[in-house]
Chain A
Amino acid sequence: MKRIIILASTLILGLSGFVLSEITEEGVKYQESEEAGGLEIIYTKPVKGVLFSHKLHVKELGLPCESCHTAIFEMEAFKSQRNPDFIMDSLYKGKYCGACHNGQTAFASNTKCATCHVGVKGLERLKKKAQVLEKK
């Protein structure tokens, strides 16, 4: 009976899809808080340590989900990173982040590099943060 309860509860937790944090080859993702509106995603390809923050874009700037999903980005984290054209040049042509980060809607993709690029140092820092959240 005990075993069934454990099995059932893991199934329910698994199905609910609530990911607190995850560190994989592809990158790091974690949820800052429940009202953040989504995950903090740190990409590692083609360069290490590029942060997309749902907390900033959804909670703080108040952008609705539809502004990006699913026309520009699919719901699955790191899906775009698997595309070979997930590079700065595509952003300059208005793809991915460049759809808004074009100098009109939001700051242009070829400016303020270290705003989104948190680098290897940022990646390591956020990895630690994600690990702490994982343990909770």
Chain B
Amino acid sequence: MNWKEFFKNLKTEEQGCVPDETRREFLKIGLIITGVAAGGSLLNVVSVVAEGLATSEELSKEYPYKPHYSMVFRVDRCIDCERCVEACRQTNNVPEYGWRTKILERVDTKAVDQQRQFMPILCNHCNNPPCVRACPTQATYKDKQTGIVKMASYKCIGCKSCMSACPYDARYFNEEKRAIDKCDFCWESRLSKGMKNTACAEACPAGVRIFGDLSDPNSEVYKIVHQMGKAVWVLKPETGAKPNVFYTIG
């Protein structure tokens, strides 16, 4: 599927109800994030913090979570081998019909040279999560310590409001749990047991997925997000969700 189309067709609570003026402002931010106007404005990349902070060190002090979990995709390395998807299914008991992560494909037969690109997606663990706002029972919530968007399945009434609110199509209804299921950065299956990496990142043979603590200047995610040599972007910045999943190439 063409993911441009894919995302265009996804409805979010913000889209369609944002005044043109505001939307234009958001788009400007989008341009900055994609690196077109990176100089001096790269701080905006970090979807978290108040604007106007001067240096990266100051910035990291301002991260609202510790550890502030984040994932970076070096997207041009993705070959859709789907080992990540398989690893996720096994680790988190994701059924055949469901997904916590998936790979989108874009084919452009008019493109020069390479005509195919893959793009992995998962829950963006937004700082301003539309799904959490949409949930009537607080079954989905932002973890106060790690920033992971988690599910308290026993509270879920299966209304699927969060599914339609999510700009990233990161949620599905799990028939067995009778609740919405989603990526929790392997919190339940791995991180809470002392492991440091997610199953998908560990399974990736091409080094596409890099998982870590964005508030730790020694982490790889920090180093990629806080550099200026390569463009770093987020998906759908215009929704204002302030995602913690970043994309880059190389």
The answer to whether A binds B is yes
A residues whose Cβ falls under 8 Å from a Cβ of B: 46-50, 112-115, 117-122
Q: A47-B205, A121-B103, A121-B105 are in contact. Are A114 and B81 (CB under 8 A)?
A: no
User: Is B82 in contact with chain A by the CB < 8 A criterion?
Assistant: yes
Asked whether, in the complex, the Cβ of B78 is within 8 Å of the Cβ of A47, the reply is: no
One of B5-13, B112-120, B187-195, B221-229 contacting the partner: B112-120
Asked whether, in the complex, the Cβ of B81 is within 8 Å of the Cβ of A47, the reply is: yes
Asked whether, in the complex, the Cβ of A113 is within 8 Å of the Cβ of B79, the reply is: yes
Query: Across the interface, which residues of A come within 8 angstroms of B79, CB to CB?
Result: 47, 49-50, 113-114, 117, 119
Asked whether, in the complex, the Cβ of B114 is within 8 Å of the Cβ of A121, the reply is: no
Asked whether, in the complex, the Cβ of A48 is within 8 Å of the Cβ of B77, the reply is: no
User: Is B220 in contact with chain A by the CB < 8 A criterion?
Assistant: no
User: How far is A96 from B23 in the complex, measured between Cα atoms in Å?
Assistant: 51
Closest residue of A by beta carbon distance from B106: A114
Query: Across the interface, which residues of A come within 8 angstroms of B118, CB to CB?
Result: 114, 119
Query: Across the interface, which residues of A come within 8 angstroms of B114, CB to CB?
Result: 112, 114-115
User: Is B142 in contact with chain A by the CB < 8 A criterion?
Assistant: no
- For A113, give its contact among B77, B103, B115 (CB under 8 Å): B77
User: How far is A48 from B78 in the complex, measured between Cα atoms in Å?
Assistant: 12
Closest residue of B by beta carbon distance from A48: B81
Query: Across the interface, which residues of B come within 8 angstroms of A118, CB to CB?
Result: 80, 116
Majority DSSP secondary structure for residues of B touching A: loop
Q: A47-B205, A121-B103, A121-B105 are in contact. Are A115 and B80 (CB under 8 A)?
A: no
User: Is B216 in contact with chain A by the CB < 8 A criterion?
Assistant: no
User: How far is A122 from B105 in the complex, measured between Cα atoms in Å?
Assistant: 9
CB distance from B249 to the nearest CB of A (A): 11
Quick one: which of B100-135 are within 8 Å of A by CB?
103, 105, 113-118
CB distance from B112 to the nearest CB of A (A): 11
Q: Mark B59-82, 1 if CB is under 8 A from A, else 0.
A: 000000000000000001111111
Asked whether, in the complex, the Cβ of B82 is within 8 Å of the Cβ of A119, the reply is: yes
User: How far is A60 from B71 in the complex, measured between Cα atoms in Å?
Assistant: 41
Q: A47-B205, A119-B118 are in contact. Are A113 and B105 (CB under 8 A)?
A: no
Asked whether, in the complex, the Cβ of A121 is within 8 Å of the Cβ of B80, the reply is: yes
Q: A114-B118, A119-B103, A121-B103 are in contact. Are A49 and B81 (CB under 8 A)?
A: yes
List 9 interface pairs A-B (beta carbons < 8 Å), by A numbering.
A47-B83, A112-B113, A113-B206, A114-B116, A115-B116, A119-B80, A119-B82, A120-B81, A122-B80
